[in-house]
Structure 1
Amino acid sequence: MASLTSDFEATCKVSIIIPALNEAAYLERTLRHLSLLQPPAHEVIVVDGGSRDETVAIAQALTKQPAPHFPLQVISSEQAGRAIQMNLGAAQASGDYLCFLHADTYVPDDLVSVIAQTLADPGVSCGGFISIMSGNLTTRWGVILNNYLKTYYAPLLFRPHLFFGKGLRLLFGDQVMFCRRADFQTCNGFDPAQPILEEADLCLKLCRLGRIRQVNRVVQASDRRVAGWGPVKANAIYFMVGFLWGLGVPGERLKRFYEDVR
């Protein structure tokens, strides 16, 4: 059985999609982390939303080097917006599984195996990780705990019928969400009109096809937003935006509380 599982993981075709906008400070390191994956990704697709820094040049330079050891594509989106960019990357992808990764987030080297093992269960439609948010000298334990628990308490509070009946859990962007490409297409992907919490919106659709699972593994995300806002303001904004979203406030109105930090 172990050898069969290993063979399946080795042939599991995972397409990693990275939406990027002015990510020159982080993108090269993220891509080099992906070159260490064992088994390797089927492909990595960077979707640029109109960067004004060296993001595109950095990604394109890596496509011409012997490493990373995976097919790396760089495509441009006419419009910026994570939902729009990730949909474009998913349309370009040829893998059986889609993994959506932020440009400032680092994943474990057995990412492909974790995805394969999680989605080998036909009752699971989507998965994500526990996000560890940290900077050079700081680990944001309070934010980490709240974000971990939010995966459970947000759907329990606002969609209890789906929490208990369909196994709904809400995953957010820094948790490295993954799903089957066929299920993503069935759900019509991310809502391009959602400027924020597009992953949570997709979870609401995917849970009708199977349970959402937060796997007991971690990824490391940059704390730049918390560092820019300060931890008290950041937690207040995260809580307020999540609460208002749960009450049905449109994403366009929520976005004004969630300015970009680069």
Structure 2
Amino acid sequence: MFSFSAIIPCYHDEAKLADLLNQLQSLPHRPLEAVVVDGADDKACREVCEQYGARWLAGEPCRGRQLLAGAALAQGDVLWFLHADNRLPPDPVTAMDLAIKRGAVGGYFRFRFDTPRAWPALLLEPAIALRCRFGVPYGDQGLFMTRQAYAGAGGHSPWPLFEEVSLVRGLRRLGRFLPLREPLFVDPRRWHRDGWWRRTWVNRNLALAFARGVAPDQLAVRYRSTTT
């Protein structure tokens, strides 16, 4: 089996991070390591990492730069990027390992909202799956790839939003970037907080603005103003 490095950016989300690190430790096939890049340089985050045996690294409060820093530190054959509030399927490492052994350069998990769910999730999940087939899966879907493919595709962009877009496009140029059947569960708290349709509308407008060439730093300011 390939060795896997789980790379997790975090920013003041220690409770969710602790739950994710506990899940990683409980898997039937565990990653070689978990690397947490803390954008808040927070003592509480460092203590959580020490408790669960994860590597802790202080970073800038910018997700793209956090992911780049984590990838530079990671030692595994395969880099697996997670969000701190993801919930894992029963055996994700085996699923990723099989995809790589079948010749894929990498892939991503199926998007599924975690509990508590609401009826809009039943419409949004297939729409997101369709978007991923023809567009770009985002970082909350557990993107994974070989170390060589990550370097060959240019790594993450050093941006606060849409940092994975150029990476995924580069990976698809290198080879097969596979969707897995296994779901990765995404915390719906922000959809509940902002409203399911409002949150979706904001996200799509940001994506369209990015496609038109608006700078990610400007979009991050817009994102914070519309979701707080």
Out of 226, 231, 235, the residue aligned to residue 200 of structure 2 is: 235
- Separation of aligned partners in 2, 1:143 and 1:51: 35
Q: Say which SS state the counterpart of residue 26 (structure 1) adopts.
A: helix
Q: Percent identity over the alignment?
A: 25
Structure-1 residue corresponding to 2:218: 253
Structure 1 residue 82: Cα displacement: 1.2
Structure-1 residue corresponding to 2:139: 173
- Separation of aligned partners in 1, 2:55 and 2:19: 16
Are the aligned partners of 1:87 and 1:190 in contact in 2 as well (CA < 8 Å)? Answer: yes
**Aligned CA distance change for structure 1 residues 109 and 36 (closer, same or farther; 3 Å):** farther
- Separation of aligned partners in 2, 1:87 and 1:207: 19
User: Structure 1 runs of 4+ off > 4 angstroms?
Assistant: none
- Separation of aligned partners in 2, 1:211 and 1:240: 29
The answer for unaligned runs of 5 or more in structure 2 is none
Are the aligned partners of 1:22 and 1:51 in contact in 2 as well (CA < 8 Å)? Answer: no
Structure-2 residue corresponding to 1:218: 183
How many residues align? The count is: 226
**Aligned CA distance change for structure 1 residues 134 and 107 (closer, same or farther; 3 Å):** closer
Structure-1 residue corresponding to 2:127: 146
- Separation of aligned partners in 2, 1:249 and 1:213: 29
Structure-1 residue corresponding to 2:116: 136
Structure-2 residue corresponding to 1:204: 169
Are the aligned partners of 1:36 and 1:109 in contact in 2 as well (CA < 8 Å)? Answer: no
Structure with the greater alpha carbon radius of gyration: 1
TM-score (norm 2): 0.90
Structure 1 residue 24: Cα displacement: 1.7
Per-residue Cα deviation, 1:14-33 (whole angstroms, up to 9, x for no partner): 11001111012311111111
The answer for unaligned runs of 5 or more in structure 1 is 1-10, 64-71, 156-169
Out of 51, 55, 59, the residue aligned to residue 73 of structure 1 is: 55
Matched, 1:127 2:107: yes
User: What amino acid maps onto 2:173 in structure 1?
Assistant: R
Structure-1 residue corresponding to 2:148: 182
**Aligned CA distance change for structure 1 residues 119 and 248 (closer, same or farther; 3 Å):** farther
Are the aligned partners of 1:20 and 1:51 in contact in 2 as well (CA < 8 Å)? Answer: no
TM-score (norm 1): 0.79
